[in-house]
Amino acid sequence: MTRRKLVVGGLAGLGGVAAAGRLAAQFGLVPPDGGGVYGPGATLNYATHRLLTAGASAREFDSEKISKVPYPNGKPPKDEIFVRQIANGFLDWRLEVAGMVERPASFSIAELKGFPASSQVTQLACEEGWSYVAEWKGVALSHVLRLAGVSPLAKFVVYETLPIKGFTFDSIDIEEAMHPQTLISYGMNGVDLPIEFGGPLRMRVPRQLGYKSVKYIAKVTVTDNLKGFGKGLGSMDAEFGYSWYAGI
Ligand SMILES: Nc1nc2c(c(=O)[nH]1)N[C@H]1C(S)=C(S)[C@@H](COP(=O)(O)O)O[C@H]1N2
Ligand SMILES: [Mo]
């Protein structure tokens, strides 16, 4: 049975959500929050998305669609380590690349800007219902992962902020991580990424809701298992009850 036939004949069929969940498990399509009360629904959503929209891209807009007044959600960190970083023009900021890679690495903003750049005009949509369109510039996460020698056994990439008051982390599967639109973003609308929008570095995951686009990132970790990350979901947003997979 092919994966696509699985959708048509199984997941979307009359077998019920629980049966669909068992089929999804056979094909490795259960998300980290696939257990618990909402697990079967989360699994069905994730599995059907992964099967039906594999490789699909987030919509890209013409530059005239860029929002005049993008909305920054939340205030920039006030922590001393962050304020010192601002004062220093983020010269000491590093992005650490760890976990299942042959060559663990750490890159400055300047080094990241030296890699092939990618730009996209995409929409950031918050789960609360608002959205804005902006141009993001950065380096594809896939480029950085390949440079570091990502293991063929990798299943997830976890990314986290600097250890600040609003510390947070989230994760995506390897398909999302290797997708060309998934960026480590350092620029927005033609300037360095403003701190309200996550400067100097944010993960930009345009195929998923805004909360997956974590701001102030300082570390990415490649793994085959999310159990060791937080409460085991590899995502603070999922710990708060948001869906781990937030595909649009
Ligand atoms: N570090 C950090 N990143 C974050 C958040 C946050 O609170 N802290 N909020 C998330 C949520 S819920 C959304 S909708 C987007 C909002 O992005 P914006 O500030 O560019 O509007 O950022 C995401 N990234
Ligand atoms: Mo959000």
Mind listing the pLDDT tens digit for each residue in 6-54?
665 566 554 677 777 888 888 889 999 998 888 888 998 999 899 888 8
CA 196, distance to chain mean position in Å, is 18
> Cβ(189) to ligand 1 under 6 A?
no
**Angle at the Cα of 164 from the Cα atoms of 162 and 169, rounded to 5 degrees:** 55
Q: What is the mean pLDDT of residues 48-65?
A: 93
**Angle at the Cα of 68 from the Cα atoms of 66 and 72, rounded to 5 degrees:** 95
> Cβ(124) to ligand 1 under 6 A?
yes
Q: How confident is the model at residue 203 (pLDDT cuts 50, 70, 90)?
A: very high
The amino acid at residue 24 is A
State the Cα–Cα distance between residues 30 and 53, nearest whole angstrom.
16
> Cβ(211) to ligand 1 under 6 A?
yes
Closest ligand 1 atom to 196 CA: 19
Per-residue pLDDT tens digits for 122-170: 999 999 999 999 999 999 999 999 999 999 999 999 999 999 999 999 9
**Residue 14: predicted pLDDT:** 47
State the Cα–Cα distance between residues 17 and 167, nearest whole angstrom.
35
Q: Report the DSSP beta bridge partners of residue 202.
A: 185, 215
Position 193 pLDDT exceeds 90 = yes
Which range (35-39, 74-78, 99-103) has the least confidence? 35-39
- Tell me 75's DSSP state: P
Pocket test for ligand 1, best of 172, 213, 240 (most atoms within 8 A of CB): 213
Global confidence as pTM: 0.95
Q: 173 vs 21, 46, 106, CA distance in Å?
A: 18, 11, 22
Q: Which of 194, 190, 214 is nearest to 204 (CA)?
A: 214
Position 5 pLDDT exceeds 70 = no
Average model confidence (pLDDT) for the chain? 93
**Residue 8: predicted pLDDT:** 52
Q: How confident is the model at residue 4 (pLDDT cuts 50, 70, 90)?
A: low
| CA-CA-CA-CA dihedral for 219, 220, 222, 225, to nearest 10 | 80
Position 55 pLDDT exceeds 80 = yes
